[in-house]
Amino acid sequence: MNLADRRTALGDGSIVIAAITSCTNTSNPHAMIGAGLLARKAVARGLSVAPTVKTSLAPGSTVVTRYLQNAGLMPALEALGFHLVAFGCTTCIGNSGPLDPAVQRTITENHLTVAAVLSGNRNFEARIHQNVRANFLCSPMLVVALALAGRIGIDLTAQPLATDPQGQPVFLADIWPTEDEIEDLVRRHVTSALYEQAYADIFAGDRFWQDLAVVKTTTFNWDPDSTYIKKPPYFDGFSTEPAKPAEIENARMLLVLGDSVTTDHISPAGAIAKDYPAGRYLQDHGVAPADFNSYGSRRGNHEVMLRGTFANIRIKNKMVAPKEGSFTRLAQGNDCFVYDAAMAYGAEAVPLVVAAGREYGTGSSRDWAAKGTRLLGIKAVIAVSFERIHRSNLVGMGVLPLVFEPGQNEQSLGLDGTETYFIGGIDPMTPRKTLTVTAIKPDGRQVRFAVTARLDTPMDVDYFEHGGILPYVMRRVLADDVGKR
C-alpha cells in the first residue's frame, strides 16, 4: 500500500501502533534515556519508521520530557515519530486514537492480525485498539526497536531491524546503547532540581484546572446535562433495614462464558463503539463519536458504564456462538445486545444469572465489572472458579458468586442458557454454604446440581444480606448516628 508517498507492506504480524506510554515504566530514567539513545543511533544510521506505524510518547511526568530535552534526545525520538502526545494514560487505556484510514481499511478488508507494541502495563483483548488483535508489552527501548522493524515476527538477536540508505543491514546490537552511555546521561541530566521545579506548584494546577467554575455547596452539585458524571443509583430505594435475602426464582441466563474471562471483557476500559448501546446513548446526548473518549474516562457516568458492561467487542457468549461481541439471545429466541436484553428482562422483573468457566474476572478495571453486573440485574454468577478480587467485588455489590462442584461446568451439565433457573437455600445464608440450582429446560426437563456460595466469611454474608457494601456502611453510619443522640 502507498502511505505518505511511501510504498509499504502491511500484513499479518505488521506493527501498526508503537507507544511509549504508562507511568509504570516511563518513570524509569534509565529506560527512557536508553530509548532516546537507541533512537539517536538509529537516526544516525539513516533509519526511519514506516508510516503505517502510529508512534507516540506519553510519559507519566513532565520531568521525563525535560531530561530528554536536556540530554538532546528528543529530536531523535521525534524524527522517528515519537512526539509528545500527552502525559499519563493513553494507549494502555485504549486512547491510542484512530489509525490512518488507509491502514484501517486494509486491516478490515483483509482480516489482518496486526500488532501493537507498548511500554504500558495492560494488553487485554480489544483494549489497546479494537482492530489490533495482537498486543505486546515491551520496554521503551524495545518499542523503538520494533517500530523500526515494523513487524512482530522478528528474531532481534539474528535478523536485521532494517536496511540503511547504503543498503547495509542494521541489527539491534548495532544501535543498542551501552549501560555506561545510559548511566552517563542519567547522572548528568536526571537531577533532583527537575523534580523540584515540576512539582513545586503541582496543587495550583494548570490554566485549564484554574479556569474551572466552582460552586461551593454542602453536597455535590450534580449537572444533569453532564455525560461524564451522573448521580449513581446505588441508594435508590434505600431503606434503613435490609430486606430479607430471597431465593432466586424464574431467573434467565444472560451469558454463558468460557475460561479466563477478564474484567476487561466484562467492563472494557478502551474505545466505545458507536453502534453499541453506550455509543448510541452518547450520540443521543449530543456527543459526536470523535468525542466519545473511552469507557475508562467515563466511569463516573453509570449510564455509559452500564451499557458498556459485557460490551467488549471480542467477548464470546456461547449462547450466540460463533458471533463475537456484546450479544445474547432472549428467551423468545431473538438475538440482541446484552444491555437491551437485561433491560427487557428487568422490565418484567426477571432476575438474571451468568455462567462462566475458570478464573472468571481475572485482570484489571475491576470496580465497574462488579458495579455493571449488579446494575444489569444479575443476581448470581455461577463459575468454575473466580479471580479473588473480582469475587470480593461481586460480594461487595450484593451479587452472589457461586462455584460448580469439582469436575462440573455448564457443558458437563448440558446447560445452554435456554433454561429457567431456581437457586434455593439462600435463606438463611452461611459462609461457603451449599445451594441447589434447578434448571428447567424449555421442554420441561430438569437439571439439578449443587453449587457452593463463595461468601467466604461472616463479613461476606453481611455484605450480601445488606445488598452490598454501600448500603451496609450507610446503615452502620445511620445506626451509629442514632446511638450518639
**Residue 30 pLDDT:** 96
Tell me if 255 sits within 8 A of 310, measured CB to CB.
yes
pLDDT band at 42; cut points 50, 70, 90:
very high
Read off the CATH number of the domain in which 286 is found.
3.20.19.10
Measured from the Cβ of residue 344, the count of other Cβ atoms closer than 10 Å reads: 15
Query: Is the per-residue pLDDT at 365 higher than 70?
Result: no
Query: Is the per-residue pLDDT at 196 higher than 80?
Result: yes
Query: What average pLDDT score do residues 156-169 get?
Result: 96
Residue 222 is assigned to a structural domain of this protein: no
Residue 464 is assigned to a structural domain of this protein: yes
Half-sphere exposure of 369 (CA within 13 A, CB side): 27
**Residue 92 pLDDT:** 84
Among 203, 234, 269, the domain boundary falls at 203
Burial of 210 (0-12, 13-18, 19+ CB in 10 A): exposed
**Residue 215 pLDDT:** 84
**Residue 5 pLDDT:** 67
Closest among 395, 328, 332, 336 to 355, alpha carbons compared: 328
Closest among 141, 200, 364, 205 to 269, alpha carbons compared: 364
pLDDT digits (tens, 9 = 90+) for 89-130: 888 888 888 899 999 999 999 999 999 999 988 888 888 998
Cell output for 444: 420441561
- H-only helix segments in 85-220: 101-110, 140-149, 172-175, 179-189, 192-199, 207-210
29 Cβ partners below 8 Å, 6+ apart?
A: 64, 67, 186, 190
Residue 226 is assigned to a structural domain of this protein: no
Residue 238 is assigned to a structural domain of this protein: no
The greatest distance separating any two alpha carbons of the chain, rounded to the nearest whole angstrom, comes to: 86
Within this chain, do residues 293 and 163 fall inside the same structural domain, yes or no? no
pLDDT digits (tens, 9 = 90+) for 405-455: 999 999 999 999 999 999 999 999 999 999 999 999 999 999 999 999 999
Half-sphere exposure of 183 (CA within 13 A, CB side): 3
Cell output for 70: 536536556
**Domain count across the chain:** 2
Query: Is the per-residue pLDDT at 189 higher than 90?
Result: yes
pLDDT band at 485; cut points 50, 70, 90:
low
Closest among 471, 479, 476 to 234, alpha carbons compared: 471
> What residue type is assigned to position 337 of the chain?
F
**Residue 303 pLDDT:** 97
28 Cβ partners below 8 Å, 6+ apart?
A: none
N- to C-terminal Cα distance for the chain? 76
10 Cβ partners below 8 Å, 6+ apart?
A: 1, 16, 52, 103, 106, 107, 112, 114
Closest among 343, 351, 298, 341 to 320, alpha carbons compared: 341
**Residue 484 pLDDT:** 64
**Residue 120 pLDDT:** 87
Read off the CATH number of the domain in which 52 is found.
3.30.499.10
**Residue 4 pLDDT:** 66
pTM for the whole structure? 0.89
Q: What is the mean pLDDT of the chain?
A: 94
d(CA 51, CA 201): 39
357 Cβ partners below 8 Å, 6+ apart?
A: 257, 258, 259, 260, 261, 383, 384, 409
Within this chain, do residues 173 and 256 fall inside the same structural domain, yes or no? no
User: From the CA atom positions of the chain, what is the Rg in Å?
Assistant: 26
SS3 (DSSP) at 120: coil
Within this chain, do residues 154 and 284 fall inside the same structural domain, yes or no? no
* Domain, as residue range, for 339: 248-482
Give phi and psi for 60, each to the nearest 5. -85, -10
Within this chain, do residues 382 and 267 fall inside the same structural domain, yes or no? yes
Within this chain, do residues 312 and 407 fall inside the same structural domain, yes or no? yes
pLDDT band at 235; cut points 50, 70, 90:
very high
Within this chain, do residues 8 and 82 fall inside the same structural domain, yes or no? yes
Cell output for 31: 529506560
**Residue 121 pLDDT:** 85
